[in-house]
Amino acid sequence: MMLLSLLSGLIMGAAVLFVLYRWVIPMAVQYHGGLALLWHDVIVERALDTLTRTSRPQRILKAVQTKATVGDPQSVITAIDHFCRHREWAMNVGDEKGSILDSVVNEVSPVTVLELGTYCGYSTVRIARLLPPGACVITLEFNPDYAAIARQVIKWSGLEDKVQLVEGASGDWIPWMKEHFGVQAFDLVFLDHWKERYLPDTKLLEECGLIQKGTVLLADNVICPGTPDYLEYVRNSPHYNSQYYRSHLEYTKAEDGLEKSVFLGY
């Protein structure tokens, strides 16, 4: 009898924990960006990494390989969005802000694009699938494990001919862009890497002549986690015309947004 009671208690406890993990806590934190990041990006990720002995990027890749069609970029995007909304949150730009990214890419119709922060290649695929013939994305990723996954995701989408993925620190690579890639300037720069690097990398791009009149900077996560120094710079500089696109932190209801800044020249 005691054994049955103990077993029943364990099953009940496990059920309560599952409900808390799967529904209650995610619902409770979805309106608070800081709590959402703490829960999804620290607690849950570390727990699942330990339990599954895989990384979140590896689990995203598996979702792509299981659900997406080879050579179909939209199916890759859909597979990742479904995984992140229904299985496990991840720090992609996401479907809601991704639609804003799409509209900016279509508006600019860039030939040369620089993406700072590849992660698993989600936004790289979103951008590359909309580029005109002959255009390309140069995407920088500091973490070699993320870069390895991103290469496979990009290849699965069939867009590897439009993407050059570079591993390393943005501060090291930006001064070599012209020499290494033959790029004179970028039409579009998408900032989605370490938030404290937004401002110094923007100034470095300016110093290296990689931003020209008409270049569009599009910065993600300017509210959550936030980039106050970057926003102060582009919003108050006479060399930029900036516009804020209000949205939500990826796959939550917490406020976040994208800042679009058009370089006006000197």
Is 192 a residue of the active site? yes
Q: Which residue in 187, 221, 256, 260 is the catalytic one? A: 221
pLDDT digit string, tens, across residues 120-162: 999 999 999 999 999 999 999 999 999 999 999 999 999 999 9
Reported confidence tier of residue 28, pLDDT bands at 50, 70, 90: confident
Catalytic residue among 250, 256, 259, 260: 250
User: Confidence band (pLDDT; 50, 70, 90) for 225?
Assistant: very high
Q: Is the pLDDT of residue 16 over 50?
A: no
pLDDT in tens, 159-214: 999 999 999 999 999 999 999 999 999 999 999 999 999 999 999 999 999 999 99
Establish how many alpha carbons lie within 13 A of residue 152's alpha carbon, considering only the half-sphere containing its beta carbon.
Answer: 16
Residue 67 bears catalytic tag: no
Question: Residue 265 — pLDDT band, cuts 50, 70, 90?
Answer: very high
Which pLDDT score is estimated for 171? 96
Catalytic residue among 220, 256, 259, 260, which? 220
**Residue 221 annotated to the active site:** yes
Structural contact between residues 115 and 127, judged by C-beta atoms closer than 8 angstroms:
yes
β 211-219/186-191 pair status: parallel
| Spatial contact of 97 and 151, defined as CB atoms under 8 Å apart | no
Do residues 260 and 243 touch, judged by C-beta distance below 8 A? yes
One of 195, 201, 256, 260 is an active-site residue; which one?
195
User: Looking at residues 76-83, what average pLDDT do you find?
Assistant: 98
